[in-house]
Structure 1
């Protein structure tokens, strides 16, 4: 494993196992003493060194990509990688193997659930469901939830919750080959929701253009305050760093 200038600020870990959950889904388990005792709030992410960087700056930190933590327990972190696109993160997720060594930053980020929300609204595609699973599991059984998720096929779904909850309205749509970028069908699914009159807190993750469209609907059409809409863009076509 190549040594870089900022490695002293990162945590060392080893890939313990890689499990295929579906045609495009891989569960990657990381282990190592440096992962023990980390503070983690469901919804937070880690940044991994997945490849060399441009030659002029590779000596500094390499190429980092972001992955939401699916679970963290003791000295173990679980990640779920969604195989999409041709960027360095996708290339890493396709080739990573048990025994590989890597470096990562501590869990971070403010894209987490708000316990004081009147209700919670989740919307996104394949990459978003990786964040939503831990966030949903962290909610109380009494929390009211609305969720609309769009994936390409049933094989791209992840089991997000341990069971059914009568307070949760969670539904899936399938694109069947259509692009997930600027997805009008996901925006329409959110628009059709019969939400309570008062705003809740929305969590919008995944493809950046679709997030913008759903946020515009909530703020401009439903009158939600902007502070009630939390966003986490993971990717968008053609933008470096979000590939």
Structure 2
């Protein structure tokens, strides 16, 4: 471990222990991180973690040692949080989650970001792939159960999609190919045509889908920028996209 890594680990990042690891599907795992300070985090629904998955691996650049993952659930009373990690990219994170074990230490820091739960609308459209599923679950739980929510959550294999932390299925699941922009636009047009009152859309996952749908909502549906929230969780041409 380099000197810089030692400083980052001891000063910048928090330490936690993996106390639970569960295989959610053939393409996703859940881990539970626990320490004495998680219960004191000023948590905002939609926040995420920067996790040092490559700390100690001298073959990786410092940039590649860090990965971002959504906080799926947090229990401040028992001081733990849950994270879901998909394996479909076969990147550093997916390789790590397959090998990590209960009892192992992990280093992280909490990040607020901008893709947060906002309860000011009456109608919501939620769109995302497997990489965004746990984050959209967190958003859904925190905008209010009385909201009208339409959803399109997809994967190449529908069996890879998993229920929320409590076992519920608040979203509609679809089996779609990678980058299914045309299919999504057709589905979205039908679903949002019935919206009445204030409306908002959350789009997450593949960066290509985020860009295309953001443009569609602005230019074709004429939604205002503040009504459209996007979060590219991954890009097929890049590594370590936050």
Answer whether TM exceeds 0.5 for this pair. Answer: yes
Structure 1 pair 212–195 and aligned structure 2 pair: CA distance change class (3 A): farther
- Calculate the aligned-residue CA RMSD, in Å: 2.6
Q: Deviations over 1:173-207 (max 9, x none)?
A: 102xx3x2354322332133224266611111100
Per the alignment, residue 236 of structure 2 pairs with: 237
Please report how far the alpha carbon of residue 6 of structure 1 lies from its aligned counterpart in structure 2 after TM superposition: 2.0
Q: Are the equivalent residues in 1 in contact too, given 2:118–2:143 (CA < 8 A)?
A: no
Q: Are the equivalent residues in 2 in contact too, given 1:182–1:209 (CA < 8 A)?
A: no
| Distance (whole Å) between structure 2 residues aligned to residue 35 and residue 41 of structure 1 | 13
More helix by proportion, 1 or 2? 2
TM-score for both structures, normalised by structure 2: 0.86
Q: How does 1:33-112 map to 2 (within 5 A)?
A: 33-52=36-55, 58=62, 63-74=65-76, 75-112=79-116
Per the alignment, residue 15 of structure 1 pairs with: 18
Structure 1 pair 154–220 and aligned structure 2 pair: CA distance change class (3 A): same
| Distance (whole Å) between structure 1 residues aligned to residue 215 and residue 13 of structure 2 | 37
Per the alignment, residue 226 of structure 1 pairs with: 225
Please report how far the alpha carbon of residue 222 of structure 1 lies from its aligned counterpart in structure 2 after TM superposition: 0.5
| Distance (whole Å) between structure 1 residues aligned to residue 35 and residue 234 of structure 2 | 29
2:18 aligned with 1:6 = no
| Distance (whole Å) between structure 2 residues aligned to residue 160 and residue 31 of structure 1 | 20
Per the alignment, residue 130 of structure 1 pairs with: 134
Please report how far the alpha carbon of residue 126 of structure 1 lies from its aligned counterpart in structure 2 after TM superposition: 0.7
| Distance (whole Å) between structure 2 residues aligned to residue 111 and residue 47 of structure 1 | 15
| Distance (whole Å) between structure 2 residues aligned to residue 124 and residue 87 of structure 1 | 19
Please report how far the alpha carbon of residue 212 of structure 1 lies from its aligned counterpart in structure 2 after TM superposition: 0.9
Question: Which shifted more, 104-113 or 127-136?
Answer: 104-113
